[in-house]
A and B are shown apart, each in its own frame.
Chain A
Amino acid sequence: MDSSSNLAIETAGLVKQFGSQRAVAGISLSVPRGSVFGFLGPNGSGKTTTIRMLLGLADVTEGEITLLGNSIPKDLDTALPKVGALVEGPAFYPYMSGRNNLFRMDAADRNSDAKTRASRVDAALDRVGLTNAASKKVHAYSLGMKQRLGLANALLKPRELLVLDEPTNGLDPQGTREVRNLIRSLASEGITIFLSSHLLSEIEQLCTHVAVMSAGSIVAQGSLAELRSHGQSRLIAKVDDVDKSVELLQAQGFAKIKISGDQLTTPADAELDVAGINQLLVKNKIGVSEIRLEHPSLEEYFVDLTGEGFEVVR
């Protein structure tokens, strides 16, 4: 196989049309094997619809999907046993115990081995820390426990890919931390993780790669470092003689210097020698109370791409 074998998920021109609305408007994803791939976007940007198509729950209107080397939806049955997923929140039979729910889900896959079922279910429950609550009925579970049970369901078999749609939704800070640690440890085992989230901080903490969705399209995609480099670094200095400083900086080639009070802000190279600038200012008898280089945050870039505010885009 060619380069595509290095990709866990690949889509080309993927479209999903609901009536007159394009929920997904021709996206091309490339998720490298072994990556922790963040699928970032505001609510309603088409993330879950994309995931539904990847997993064969929804039909593809246009475009192609390759999942672990299998064409979807044609070879869904070959691909899916290697994929664990949490889609739009956990869902279980409330009148059955957590353990029996996992038994049920495992029995649904015709390829799963009934002989090892009990031990695999117990291992999955143990992995998410639910062993003690395994025989409780799910209606007595908290949202966090249901979320963990959902993760346990995704871990019933050895997987090559985990598709996790908002896995920390509804968790308390402790639960969030535990889930993130779990994701890290799964990633360290070499499992590719496709993590959708509307939380930038989550993606920044966990992911090696990101795609940013907005209104059904991918507006940016690449490794985290690549996306970070998109923004502009800035030099920020607080000085006692603003006019003279501006003059000196302009002589050094800095443009678009913004002044507010005693603070100067100017776009700068990310590799700028800040100490050199400081020396230059001080040599010219300018008192410098603060000088630093600020790197662009992913958040600014994200807001640039997806727009600010709570308005529903469509």
Chain B
Amino acid sequence: MFAKSLGLSLMLSELKVMFTRRRTWAMLFAIALIPILLATAVYLSADRLAPGEGPPFLDRVTQNGLFTGFTAMLLAMPLFLPLTISVVAGDTIAGEAGLGTLRYLLIAPVGRARLLVVKYLGTIAFTLAGTFTLMIAGAIIGAIYFPVGPITLLSGDVIQIPEALWRMALVALYTTVSMMGMLALGLFISTLTTIPVGAMTGVLIASGVSQILDNLPQLSWLHEWLFTHYWLDFADILRQPMELSSFGSNLLLQLGYIAFFGALAYGRFTSKDILS
């Protein structure tokens, strides 16, 4: 039923289009470079950081390579990850419109709502690929440069390596969920234009503005409504027991953004004249 109504073969085709594109692999490679550069810099620098100096966890990387992924994620969340993701999110509809393939998809006929859903799921797939790439590259490079062993969590508890790997996967999932609101915003902006770069820039600006607002104490009433508000809270996964209340709020917030911008995208796209 699902396969017939949504079109499993359309979904697979969407992933194929995305992952046969060299740009997608270039971006995943760039994401993988973050932990690699980070670990290399830490490895080569003579001075050891005092605990608490630099970004969170950075001082722990030398003690345990498994921290590389977490640290790299903290560095990538504010800008680099949103940057690559905005490329994909902005490209969804605008990219097809720019190429002209949108009109051929629509007369196939793909169904406008169905295309939106598949495009959105495609951006989530890319985000998953990106966050897992970062965590896996971090684990590998960390294991090459530094000792690997049981991890001492923020709460002082110690977890074994398999448990640590499981938590790394959870971090990748958490950050993917954190991006879902922005992906919905990107989908909507993408229905407004036929120029993908314009849509990408729009998404990136929105994420920048949201993060700035989140840093203004005068606007504290607004903070919990900003889609970037919980972006760095994945650190809660490194507590024992796991602190999941922020995840719950984050999930609700992201679902709210999906509902709002999903509805806008649907309203806009299903009534739009396709003139490209």
Contacts and interface: CB of A to CB of B under 8 A. Distances in A.
Contacts of B109: 56, 76-77, 80-81, 108-109
B103 A91 contact: yes
A141 interface: no
Interface string B113-135: 01100000000000000000000
Interface in A61-90: 76-77, 80-81, 83, 85, 87-90
A93 B7 contact: no
Contact of A91 (B7, B16, B101, B111): B101
Most chain B beta-carbon neighbours within 10 Å: one of A91, A103, A114, A153: A91
B13 A52 contact: no
Contacts of A91: 99-101, 103-104
Contacts of A85: 107
A278 B34 CA distance: 94
A270 B53 CA distance: 99
Interface on chain B toward A: helix, strand, loop, or mixed SS? helix
B16 A58 contact: no
A219 interface: no
Contacts of A57: 103, 106-107, 273-275
B110 A59 contact: no
Contacts of A106: 108
Q: How many residues of B sit at the interface, in one of the four size bands? A: 20 to 34
A104 interface: yes
Contact of A55 (B7, B99, B107, B115): B107
A106 B106 CA distance: 11
Contacts of B108: 80, 105-106, 108-109
Contact of A108 (B16, B22, B110): B110
B111 A89 contact: no
A83 B109 CA distance: 10
A62 to B, nearest CB: 15
30 contacts: A52-B273, A55-B103, A56-B107, A57-B274, A57-B275, A59-B273, A77-B109, A80-B107, A83-B107, A85-B107, A90-B100, A91-B99, A91-B104, A93-B99, A93-B101, A95-B20, A96-B20, A105-B104, A105-B108, A106-B108, A107-B9, A107-B12, A108-B105, A108-B109, A108-B110, A109-B110, A110-B5, A110-B110, A110-B114, A153-B104
